[in-house]
Amino acid sequence: MESTDEMQLEKAKSVVPLNTWILISNLKLAYNITRRPDGSFNRHLAEFLDRKVGANISPVDGVSTMDVNIDRVTGVWARIFIPVNFQSEESREDKIPVFVYFHGGSFVHSSANSAIYDAVCRSFAKLCRAMVISVNFRRSPEYRYPVAYEDGFTVLKWIQLQALTALGNAWLPSNADLSHCFLVGDSSGANIVHHLGVMASTADLYPVCICGHILLMPMFGGMKRTPVEIRLDGQYFVTIKDRDYYWQSFLPEGADRDHPACNIFGPYSEDLTTVPLAPSLVLIASLDLLQDWQKEYVQGMRDSGKKVELVVLEHATVGFFLFPNTEHFHRVIDAISSFVKRSI
Amino acid sequence: MDQMLDVLCSHDKHHKDGDGHSVAAVDHGSIASRPAKNQLHEAGSNGAPSSTLGKEMTAVNVGVDELLANAGYKVRASELQQVAQRLEHLETVLGAAQEAALSHLSTEAVHYNPSDLASWIECMLEELAPNFPVDSLPHLHSFDQSAQVSGCLMDDPQACGRQNQQSHQEDDAHSNIVDYSEEFILDYEETQYGSGFNDHNLNGIFGNICSLEQLGRKREAGMKQGFELNAQGMHQREQKRGKHSITQPCAYSGSSQEAYSQTSDNPVVFSSVYGSNQASLRPMGSCIHQPTLLQDGSDGAQESGVRLVHLLLACAESVQRDDLIAAEELVRDIRVLAAPQKGPMRRVATEFVEALARRIYSFNSQDTIGNQRDSLSELLHFHFYETCPYLKFAHFTANQAILEAFENQKQVHVIDFNLMHGLQWPALIQALALRPEGPPFLRITGIGPPQPGGNDVLQEIGVKLAQLAKSVNVEFDFRGVIAAKLDDVKPWMLQVSQGEAVAVNSIMQLHRLLYSENSATPPPIVEVLQSVKSLNPRIVTIVEHEAIHNSPIFLERFTEALHYYSTMFDSLEACNLPAQSLELMLAETYLGREICNIVACEGAERVERHEPLAQWQMRMCNSGFQPLHLGSNAFKQARMLLTLFSGEGYAVEETGGCLTLGWQSRPLLAASAWRC
């Protein structure tokens, strides 16, 4: 008689390709052994296990990358992905939008040069034909809320600087359209997207203009346990316990999960009706245990008068988009591309 | 600016094609505006194949799952099912054992080479469920460099972690280290190295040197603190080796041999496919690494910085084309622009423009920099060591590996390819003194160049080391071997005794051996590696610059070096040195000599022929060495070292069983270990 553990493993294996399953299970394992029961985090082991990859200005598979310092003092840097145009028919002056990308990892794991996120950003750059700026923001538990949001804002100001001065001319592709910027992120990165979007809405960023938010499986939460959370706990790579751990390490000491960084439309929510936010595209995986929170977010945004497009990917688990080997992946690319086109 | 690099890369390709098209003012336009005929996806212009070809080779010859490879994991496509099963099993075991198991894996176990998923999982299963019949699971391929590269039959050295029986340090244990010991001061009164040197204490070695009395006390207390070099790991790994040995014939023997011979003119290609997880995504060629050259700060500073780089590359390009008039003009422009600048960019620009000037004016070859091994260069080396963490990292990482290799050996012999001030050895001597089984009889053979004036500097260093060894009760012997070149050192000169365990240590020496006059004469590295092999060492520790500074094409070399040293200079900023300070200046001068050699010299004089880890790995494998993986314990201690000695921004990374130290996202130094 199979144990429940094994049954769960079988279930997850049946909905994702085998290599994806191996990747996500391996990540899950690596994350498990770095989270200590006392709430502390084994950063050394986490960095040891993370697979990193360098930038490469020589285009690889149609995308060229380079790393830039954003802020010397804080050490924030970013990796820039530039799709190389080698189809002669395409007009070379066609403007391409800019994605400012925030990688996932529950605020704790991964970096802009993590191999998995380098691959994801390359896909976005190539398939969505965008210049992607993947931010290496500071992570918890070393740097808690609101540092990640602030680092994101610093990047926006940096992009503004490149545009306003002649600096950008030296390295920015002339077809990169800074007036069409999108904030893009997955998981905790998508959480950053929302909050950064709010910060940016009242800031002077001209000529940088944020045309849209793209949130892939955004990480939100709250004190209550939603039915989906309970039902899917531990079923598809993610547990309530690990979500709690990461909130604990990100939110200010003493705060609980109803803190507005986590629970956007909870008891301490900010009124967003007068905040001019760009339209959002929210992509939800139907096997993600956070989907109730994600749907609450969508509803809350709509109730605040914001345009939100929602795409639910049936039978998709967290992390499905890390490999371009499912229908879901291509649906995501299509959804993003079409959203971008319409938002410009 | 990097924009321009792309342009220059492609122009370089034109150059090779005999296209007389010149690059005058570099087009600041977009990448997209370049002529469509530039097949930019043919990465690199030195014949390295495009990434597509690389992927073909991967798929056909190695059979790894490509998507997992892109994510940094090597798993054979045919073994996905089995790897998944093992993962599942591990998960079940972890589920059953709960916190104790997790805690063990997190805190005590030493992990190796996480890219080799199958091995990593298997090791963890071993740790947690030692009675689990591993043999019942099908043997999985393990990704050892040598197996891939040369198609040789070999045992698979499963580099498994073993429970570290000592109490484990906490992540914030640096407070323990600071409290640790009174520093032992080596006095260099009689040095010839000039004033100022006399006052330098060699106590910068992690504060890990203590007097005998304290040593005794600590031993009694049975404590191990601070930066202990962990003596576990390797021995047990060897014991396990027999158990896990997978003696299946290398699966790609035919095709890989073929592939290798096809690319033997450009072995770089091969390594880029099979090498470390990093290398697999980087086609070897020009402009591989990315600088973090764009700096924030005032608009003016950043803008001039960008302009300086632009001019430097344009100048190098003129030199490449032999247009020395244009080059000279650019040198003048650069000097003018650089002078009022502040920050690392100015200093980098200065070093590079002076190197360019030397090349253009063809300074007398006797004047060439970088080849000298005189007192000035030793002084600079010392300051560089003190100033920033690179050499400390090199020494520390090598010592850790050597200590592990020497476990349970009663007679050990370390051969240092470049003794210098012997800075690496006090820490090892002390660590050996602290061994639970007691210290071995330690011999150190230090190799060094002849000194002008005929002083036997090696002997002087040896005496100091002997004094230290005596004070900690380590039986010790020192020999100096004076040689102008490493290939002058013959194995018999090293007087290796029967029964002693030998460690060969090379910190940034091997790249000097890569020049050969013609294709008929092999470069000295071949002979030296054979000599090393003949010593039958238990371990060979190698640290080299992680850079491609050996391209025969000047412009490529220049561009790579510009990126590399810009990053290096950038990193010096984090060493908490006051600007304009002597230390900073000396560190920069040290680097400046390397730059000058790379840029201004050719032929036998150009000794700074840095090659990246993937290439060294291939060379070592092809010479019959097998890798010894550096694990999470060495990784962790390196990181802790960095927090003690430097500011933020330094990054230690693990790649294919080796460790690199770099600045932010760019590795600059790579450390690896080998055995025969």
**Tokens 């916190």, located at residue:** B99
How far is A148 from A107, CA to CA, in rounded Å? 8
d(CA B568, CA B545): 11
List of chain A residues whose C-beta atoms are within 8 Å of the C-beta of residue B114: 30, 48-49, 51
* Chain A touched by B294 (CB under 8 Å): yes
Quick: pLDDT tens for B457-511: 999 999 999 999 999 999 999 999 999 999 999 999 999 999 999 999 999 999 9
Q: What is the pLDDT of residue B633?
A: 94
The CA distance from B65 to B80, in Å, is 8
Beta-carbon separation of B84 and A25 below 8 A: yes
Residue B1's nearest CA partner among A172, A287, A33, A268 is: A172
Q: How many CB atoms lie within 10 A of CB B136?
A: 6
Within 151-210 of A, beta carbons closer than 8 Å to B belong to 158, 161, 165-167, 169-176
The token pair that represents B33 in the structure block: 């505006």
- Average of per-residue pLDDT across A110-128: 97
**Where do the domains of chain A lie?**
51-343
CA B457 to CA B382: how far, in whole Å?
15
What six digits make up the tokens of B346? 């100015």
DSSP code of residue A60: B
At residue B508, the pLDDT reads: 96
Percent of chain B residues topping a pLDDT of 90: 50
CA distance B278 to chain A (A): 5
pLDDT of residue B251 exceeding 60: no
Q: Which two tokens stand for residue A206?
A: 């001209």
The per-residue pLDDT for A287 is 96
DSSP states of B203-262 as a string?
Answer: -TTTT----HHHHHHHHHHT---SSPPP--SHHHHHHHHHHH---PPPTTHHHHHHHHHH
* Range list of β-strands (E), B365-419: 411-416
Contact B41 A169 (CB under 8 A): no
Could A53 and B278 be called an inter-chain contact, meaning their C-beta atoms sit closer than 8 Å? yes
Alpha-carbon distance A283 to nearest alpha carbon in chain B (angstroms) = 23
CA A188 to chain centre: 6
Residues contacting B332, CB < 8 A, separation 6+ = none
Q: State how far residue A84 is from chain B, nearest Cα, in angstroms.
A: 7
Contact between B294 and B1 under an 8 Å Cβ cutoff? The reply is: yes
Task: With a cut of 80, say whether residue B37 has pLDDT above it.
Answer: no
Q: What whole-number distance in Å separates Cα of residue A96 and Cα of residue B399?
A: 51
Q: How many CB pairs under 8 A join A and B?
A: 260
Does residue A243 register a pLDDT over 70? yes
Nearest to B31 among A21, A52, A173 (CB): A173
Residues of B in contact with A104 (CB under 8 A): none
E-assigned strands of B398-548?
411-416, 441-448, 476-482, 501-507, 539-545
Given CB atoms, is A110 within the 8 Å cutoff of chain B?
A: no
C-beta atoms of A57 and B632 within 8 A: no
Which residues, other chains included, contact A224 with Cβ-Cβ below 8 Å and sequence gap of 6+?
none
Residues of chain A in contact with residue B286, where contact means CB-CB under 8 angstroms, are: 58
Number of H helices, E strands in chain A: 11, 8
**Amino acid B644: pLDDT:** 83
Q: What is the DSSP string of B580-593?
A: T-HHHHHHHHHHHH
Query: Which A residues in the span 304-333 are in contact with B, Cβ-Cβ below 8 Å?
Result: 322-325
Which of A106, A111, A114, A187 is catalytic? The answer is: A187
Asked if A67 and B290 come within 8 Å (Cβ–Cβ), the reply is: yes
For the question of residue A288 being annotated catalytic, the response is: yes
User: What is the rounded radius of gyration, in angstroms, for the C-alpha atoms of chain B?
Assistant: 25
* Contact yes or no for A9 and B91 at CB 8 A: yes
CA B37 to chain centre: 38
pLDDT > 70? residue B247: no
**Lowest-confidence range among B20-24, B213-217, B267-271?**
B267-271
Name every residue whose Cβ is closer than 8 Å to that of residue A187 and which is 6 or more positions away in sequence.
Answer: A104, A105, A106, A216, A217, A218, A219, A318
Total residue count of chain B as it appears in this document: 676
Q: Which residue in B68, B289, B306 is closest to A170 by CB distance?
A: B306
Which pLDDT does position B304 carry in this prediction?
Answer: 76
Over residues B154-191, the pLDDT tens digits come to 233 333 333 333 333 333 333 322 222 223 323 322 22
Q: For B646, which DSSP code? A: S
Contact B88 A9 (CB under 8 A): yes
Does the structure show a pLDDT above 60 at A88? no
Q: Do B68 and A22 touch (CB under 8 A)?
A: yes
User: Under 8 Å CB-to-CB from B667, ≥6 apart: which residues?
Assistant: A54, B278, B546, B651, B653, B655, B660, B661
pLDDT of residue B294: 45
At residue A127, what is the residue type?
L
Percentage of chain A beyond pLDDT 90 is 84
Query: Does the beta carbon of A6 lie under 8 angstroms from any beta carbon of chain B?
Result: yes
For A169-179, the pLDDT digits (tens) are 767 787 889 88
Q: Whole-number mean pLDDT of chain B?
A: 72
Instruction: Round the average pLDDT of chain A to a whole number and report it.
Output: 93
Give the burial class of A273: count Cβ atoms within 10 A of its Cβ; 0-12 exposed, 13-18 middle, 19 or more buried: exposed
Of A59, A88, A119, the CB nearest to B40: A59
pLDDT of B256 reads: 30
Backbone angles phi, psi at B663, to 5 degrees: -110, 120
What CATH number is given for A51-343 in this structure? Answer: 3.40.50.1820
Q: In this model, does residue B296 exceed pLDDT 70? A: no
Rounded CA separation B53/A33 (Å): 38
Q: Does A65 touch chain B (CB under 8 A)?
A: yes
Across the interface, whether the CB atoms of B28 and A169 are under 8 A apart is answered yes
Indicate if A187 belongs to the active site. Answer: yes
pTM of the model: 0.81
Instruction: Report percent pLDDT > 70 for chain A.
Output: 94
pLDDT score recorded for residue A86: 53
Query: Which whole-number Å values give the CA distances from A283 to A234, B18, B100, B149, in the listed order?
Result: 21, 52, 38, 43
Question: For residue B632, what is the enclosing H or E element?
Answer: helix B632-645
- The C-alpha angle with vertex B163 and arms to B157 and B165, in degrees rounded to 5, equals 135
Identify which of A5, A116, A165 has the shortest CB distance to residue B303: A165
Can you tell me the mean pLDDT for B208-221?
Answer: 36
pLDDT, position A53: 96
pLDDT tens-place string over residues A202-211: 999 999 999 9
- Strands in A63-71's sheet, in edge-to-edge order, are A63-71, A76-83, A131-136, A96-102, A176-186, A210-216, A280-285, A308-313
- Nearest Cβ partner of A45 from B106, B297, B649? B106
